[in-house]
Amino acid sequence: MENDSYREAFKASIVAAYKQVENSPKLVDDLDHLTAMAAQIVNEVEDRWFPAPQPGTGQTAPVRGKVIEGTLIEHGEAPYQHKDDNQMSYFVTLKPEGG
């Protein structure tokens, strides 16, 4: 992860919560359960946002959504929608797979 500051903040809040309930075994058990649930949710969200590299390819799994694959024909800078009076943008020309 590029920015783990939210993890550090989460960890600090969990440590503070445990300090408040450390003298009550029942509350510690409850906090253990809630912490495990929260950690599972965080891990699931991170797995969706930051997929792990696939073994052997070094590439990450595609994020859900529309992925366009093909052979790169051309790319570069051009006016938006190729209209001369528009500001500069970036274009890509692909030859779609199978087409």
The reply to whether the predicted model has a pTM over 0.85 is no
- Tens of pLDDT, residue by residue over 26-45, are 998 888 888 888 888 877 87
* DSSP-assigned states of every residue in the chain: ----HHHHHHHHHHHHHHHHHTT-HHHHHHHHHHHHHHHHHHHHHHHHHSPPBPTTT--BPPPSS----EEEEEEEEEEGGG-TTSPEEEEEEEEETT-
What average pLDDT does range 69-83 have in this prediction? Answer: 82
What average pLDDT does range 51-57 have in this prediction? Answer: 68
| pLDDT given for residue 91 in this prediction | 77
| pLDDT given for residue 56 in this prediction | 66
